[in-house]
Structure 1
Amino acid sequence: MAQEHRPLRHVRAAELSSDTAQTGAMTRREAVAGKTVGSEALWMGQAHLHPGADSGNHHHGDTESAIYIVSGHPVFVFAQDGEEVRLTPEPGDYVFVPPWTPHREENPGDEEAVVVLARSSQEAVVVALPPGSLA
């Protein structure tokens, strides 16, 4: 007996939904999720951060996140050994965010920053944290 396979799903850019977890001035849009395509273990979407804005401090629970920089110059801020560290990736670069790691995204540039996000959960887990230092 042949195994049944589920069909591939095509999500058009215009079909991305902002009905997902949000923090600060960052706008997240989901493309691949349980509620959009029936994914079981993966969430994928994009985020937009306007010039001069930041996402606010947050973490993604037990979820791993991978981020691909599409355009702009976002800065990723987290704490290491009690000090704030700032990553400054360029378009085409990737950033990995481990589970439970508090961080924020900032956009000090004069153009919108756009990134593609992939997470190890079909849900967009975003836990907002109080403002202030991450250290």
Structure 2
Amino acid sequence: MPVQPSDAAGGDFVRTRSGVLVPAGAHVAASTTSGNHHHGASETAIYVVSGHPAFVFLDVEGDEPVEVRVQTSPGDYIFVPPFVPHREENPDPETEAVVVIARTTQEAIVVNLDGLDWTEVEVR
């Protein structure tokens, strides 16, 4: 039986060919910034329902690391691979953002970091 939207908000999981997919909803308050973090071995897919949250990563491919801000709109998807340092921001001073998050682990893993670089990341 497919998971219904009301079930997804409760953190039920769906078995997929590749393992487990755990959907959840989240409200991101106006003028909010998360701390820098990663989600361990969990793959994370985010669908933007409303608002314009930003997702911030560090591009380390060039001569100098550059902070990259991915600005989103309703209908956009963001994929965060395992162990990738990032942070979420909702810069709108008045409107919350609503997102649906799907992870490949039942546990919502959050490993807090001082920065966006990889110096604190232990890949297991």
Tell whether the 8 Å contact from 2:37 to 2:116 is kept in structure 1 after alignment: no
- 1:105 maps to 88
The Cα of 1:32 is off from its aligned counterpart by 2.1
Superposition map of 1:32-111 within 5 A: 32-33=12-13, 41-81=20-60, 82-109=65-92, 110-111=94-95
Please list the CA deviations of residues 99-121 of structure 1 after superposition, one character each: whole Å capped at 9, or x if unmatched: 10010000111200111001111
Distance 1:8 1:97, change over 3 A: closer
C-alpha distance in structure 1 between counterparts of 2:75 and 2:47, whole Å: 7
Structure with the higher strand share, 1 or 2: 2
Runs of 4+ with deviation above 6 angstroms: 37-40
- Any idea what SS the aligned residue of 2:32 has? coil
Larger radius of gyration: 1
Aligned AA (2:111): V
Note the alpha carbon deviations across 1:65-100, whole angstroms, 9 max, x for none. 110000001010010121110000110010010110
The one-letter amino acid of 1:120's match is T
1:50 partner amino acid: A
Higher RCO (C-alpha 8 Å, min separation 6)? 2
Query: CA shift at 1:41, angstroms?
Result: 1.6
Q: CA deviation at 1:61?
A: 0.4
Residue in structure 2 matched with residue 23 of structure 1 by the alignment: none
CA contact (8 A) 1:52 1:107 kept: yes
What is the deviation of 1:44? 1.1
* Aligned positions of 1:105-124 closer than 5 A: 105-109=88-92, 110-124=94-108
Q: What TM-score do the two structures reach when normalised by structure 1?
A: 0.70
Output the TM-score relative to the length of structure 2: 0.76
User: Percent same amino acid at aligned positions?
Assistant: 50
